[in-house]
Chains A and B, each alone.
Chain A
Amino acid sequence: MKIGRISLTALVVWLAALAAAVYTSNAQDASMDRMRVVSAARTLMPRPIGLKADPAPAETYRRIANDLTATNPKVDFLATPTGLIVRASDAGEYVAWMLAVTTAIAQASQYRWSIKELCAGTQCPSAPLSADLVAHQIQTEIK
C-alpha cells in the first residue's frame, strides 16, 4: 500500500517535470525568436544623419556676376571669395535691383541663399540698394 502511494507520487512528480520541460522548451524557443527579432531591429536601425552647410565655391559667385553683369547694366555685381554683392547706386533702380537679386539666386538654386547684409534706403552706407548674399550647399553626414 505504502509502496503504491510512493510510486503514485513519483509518477505525479515525473509528469509535472515533463510538463514543465515541454513548457520551458516552448517558452525558450519563443524567447530566442524575440531576441533574434530585437537583434535584427538593432542592426537595421538607421544611422543618424546630420545636415551641414558647406559654403559655395568662389567660382559660383564669379560665374553669376559675369553672367548677370551683361544683362543688368544698371546694377553692379561684385563677386567676393565668400559671397556676392548686388548693388545699385541709383535708388530709382529699385525694381531692376530686386529683379537682379532674385535672378542671381535663381542662377544657382541648388544652393541655399541667405542674406549676410542687405540695405535699402537713402541712408545706407555703401549704396542706396545693396545686398550681400551668401550661398551654402546643404550636405548630409552620418553622425
Chain B
Amino acid sequence: MSGLAFAVFAAFNLSQIVARDNRAAQDTAEITNASRGYERELRTELGHVAGQPALAVIGRLYSLSRIVPETGGALSEFRAEGDTVKWTAEVPDWVSNEQIDSYGPDIQRTRLPTTQKLRLTAVEKIQ
C-alpha cells in the first residue's frame, strides 16, 4: 500500500517537473524573441543615423550640376529641406527620354515652345 502511495507521489513529482520544463521552454522562446526584436530595432535605428545626410544632398547637387550640362542644359534651381530635394533644369528639346531618365527618377517634363527647351522638375528623397 505504502509502495503504491510512493509511486503516486513520484508520478505527481514528475508532472510538476514536466510543467516546469514547459515554463523553461516558454521563457527561452520569450528571451530569444526579445533579443532578436531588440537586434532588429537597433539595426534599423543605426541605419537611420549612419552617414552624413548633408553630404548626400550636396553630392546630389554636385552630380546634377555635372550631368545636366552634358546635354547642353542647365540646372536652374536646387532646393533641399531635410532629406527632400526639389530641382529644376532646362535642357534642349532634342534630348532623349533615356538621357533625361538617367538624371533621376520621376522627372516631370514641360515643353517650352518659345525657347525650344524642356523644363525638367523632380522631387526626390535622398537616403
Identify B53's interface contact among A17, A114, A120, A122, CB under 8 A.
Answer: A114
Q: Are B3 and A17 in contact (CB under 8 A)?
A: yes
Q: Are A35 and B20 in contact (CB under 8 A)?
A: yes
**Chain A, residue nearest B5 (CB):** A17
Per the CB 8 Å criterion, the residue count for chain B at the interface is 44
Determine the distance from Cα of A33 to Cα of B76 in the docked complex, in whole angstroms. 72
Determine the distance from Cα of A45 to Cα of B35 in the docked complex, in whole angstroms. 7
Give how many A-B residue pairs fall within 8 Å (CB-CB).
Answer: 129
Binds B, one of A24-32, A61-69, A71-79: A24-32
**B7 lies within 8 A of chain A by Cβ:** yes
Identify A13's interface contact among B3, B11, B38, B41, CB under 8 A.
Answer: B3
Residues of B within 8 A of A (CB): 3-4, 6-7, 10-11, 13-14, 17, 20-21, 24, 27-28, 31, 34-35, 38, 41-42, 45-46, 48-49, 51-55, 57-58, 61-62, 65, 75-83, 88
Residues of A within 8 A of B (CB): 10, 13-14, 16-17, 20-21, 23-24, 27-28, 31, 34-35, 38, 41-42, 45-46, 48-51, 53, 94, 98, 101-102, 105, 109, 112-124, 131, 133, 138
